[in-house]
Every structure is written in C-alpha cells, then in structure tokens.
C-alpha cells in the first residue's frame, strides 16, 4: 500500500473523513468547547482516530481540543520511545500514564482464560481517572464498525443479550461520555490508511499472545459470511440503527400487555374492514 496512487489515497482519506464526520454529527459526539481525550494504544485504530480527528478539527465550524493519552501498562518489550516521538512530531498535547496493569492482569487471570476482561476493566479505570484529572469532557475510543458487529455476536452467542457497542455512551459511574467516532468506518479501510500513513504500530503482547480468543472466532465467521455475501457486515451494522422493539421479545422495551388496550382505544374509523366471502 506504500505505492498507493495519489487518487486512491485521496479517495480513502475522503471516505474516512466523511464517515467520521457523519458519525460525530449523527450522535452529537463533539460540541463546541469540548476537551476530547483520545485514547492512543499504538494500534492502527487509535492512530487513525487521532489522525482523522485532527483533520476534522482543522476545518470544523466549532472549536474543540484534542489531548492524546496512552496507558503504558508495562508490558515486556514495550517500546516506550515510539509514541512520545510520534506525538511530539505532531506538536499536540499528550500524556503517558505509567501503570503496571500487566503484572496484575497476569496474576488475576485463571489458567486458560483470556486476559481481556480484567485488562479492559483496569485500563478503563486508569483512563477514566486520568480523564477526570485533565478535565476531559469526552473520551474518544478507536472502536470501528467491525468491532461493533463482532461485539453484537459475542454478546448474542456468549452473553445471551442483544447489545453491541454504542457510538456514544455514559459511563457506569455517570462521570464520562465515551464516543466512538470510527463507528461507521470499516477495519479494512483503517488498516489501509495506517499503512499509507506509515503509523509506527505497536503490537499488544498481552491479548495478542493468546490463541482461540472468541472475538477471533467471530471475526473469522463474519469474514466468511462477507466473502460469500459482500457488504453483509454493513447490513448488520445498519440493522443496529433500525431496531423494531415491537418485533423482539423484551417486555421492558415494549409494552406487549398494553396492546389489547391500544386496540380497544383505536377509533372505529381507522380499523380495516373485513371483507365478507
């Protein structure tokens, strides 16, 4: 992809900017005066998130701040110089949080289990605390459309719940607004953009070292579906934006018991006459 023609690069950049801009507008993710903390892991997704947000910031009709924040979890062989060098080159405000969650995650995770649940909880807690310290009004995460669809099936198959990752969310403690500006972007486009931009990718040696992760199983399943039926993932993602509660089974979400009263209250003039014979 390093030899990508200029017109293809421009087309890809335009698509990502349009999709991020549309997601921000659709879900009111960023408002004037916001101080947005961009969580930067060193992976392709978070690099792309920061890059596209900076591009939009330069042309947006409103003013908002971007602050890049990385959590150094003290994983072995983590190249500590990479992110500071990259961020200093951009000339933006950034912070590196140093917290040895790696050792704790390894100690707390039972043999044969995945590190992700414990790791994500600890990482989330550290980032939330720091967001509070620096006065961030929004916390931007790098999850994309593929992540959202994968999470839908993970929860469906393993959690018996019909939920995914919302583009905008109030944290459980009620203190933070989380946003996912890449919610409309495909992972394949992000990977291409990361290669075009030559981002200094830092692999995760914690979860990336484990085999048989359920998310990888789901990812392979969806890839096979899309190979047979192109655009299937986009269609599934579209379905998440067009939910019909009356055609599901959640009694908390829809008043099934009230249907009889609704029918009785319906004016006779609106009822469809039954044809005889």
Which tens digit of pLDDT belongs to each residue from 31-43?
999 999 999 999 9
The residue with greater pLDDT, 84 or 78, is 84
C-alpha span between 257 and 9 (Å, rounded): 55
pLDDT at 118: 63
Which tens digit of pLDDT belongs to each residue from 101-142?
777 766 666 666 666 666 777 788 889 999 999 999 999 999
Neighbours of 265 (CB within 10 A): 8
Predicted confidence band at 145 (pLDDT cuts at 50, 70, 90)? very high
pLDDT at 276: 62
For residues 205-228, average pLDDT: 79
pTM above 0.75, yes or no: yes
Domains of the chain: 6-210 (3.40.50.620)
Which tens digit of pLDDT belongs to each residue from 263-277?
899 887 666 666 665
pLDDT at 116: 66
Which tens digit of pLDDT belongs to each residue from 236-263?
999 999 999 999 999 999 999 999 999 8
Residue 24 has pLDDT above 50, yes or no: yes
pLDDT at 21: 98
Which tens digit of pLDDT belongs to each residue from 175-216?
999 999 999 999 999 999 999 999 999 987 555 444 457 889
């Amino acid at each position: 992809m390093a030899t990508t023609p200029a017109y293809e690069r421009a087309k890809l950049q335009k698509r990502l900017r349009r999709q991020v801009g549309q997601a921000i507008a659709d879900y009111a993710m960023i408002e004037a005066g916001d101080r947005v903390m961009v969580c930067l892991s060193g992976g392709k997704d978070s690099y792309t998130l920061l890059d596209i947000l900076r591009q939009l910031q330069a042309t947006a009709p409103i003013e908002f701040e971007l602050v890049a924040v990385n959590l150094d979890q003290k994983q072995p062989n983590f190249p500590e110089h990479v992110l500071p060098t990259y961020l200093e080159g951009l000339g933006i405000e950034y912070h590196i949080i140093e917290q040895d969650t790696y050792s704790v995650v390894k100690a707390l995770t039972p043999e044969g289990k995945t590190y992700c649940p414990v790791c994500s909880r600890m990482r989330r807690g550290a980032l939330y605390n720091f967001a509070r310290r620096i006065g961030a009004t929004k916390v931007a995460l790098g999850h994309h459309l593929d992540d959202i669809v994968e999470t839908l099936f993970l929860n469906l198959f393993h959690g018996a719940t019909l939920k995914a990752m919302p583009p905008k969310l109030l944290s459980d403690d009620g203190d933070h607004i989380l946003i996912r500006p890449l919610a409309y972007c495909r992972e394949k486009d992000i990977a291409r953009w990361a290669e075009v931009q030559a981002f200094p990718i830092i692999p995760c040696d914690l979860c990336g070292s484990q085999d048989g992760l359920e998310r990888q199983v789901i990812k392979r399943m969806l890839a096979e579906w899309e190979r047979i039926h192109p655009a299937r993932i986009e269609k599934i993602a579209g379905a998440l934006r067009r939910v019909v509660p009356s055609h599901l089974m959640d009694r908390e979400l829809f008043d099934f018991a009230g249907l009889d009263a609704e029918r009785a209250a319906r004016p006779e003039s609106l009822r469809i006459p039954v044809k005889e014979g």
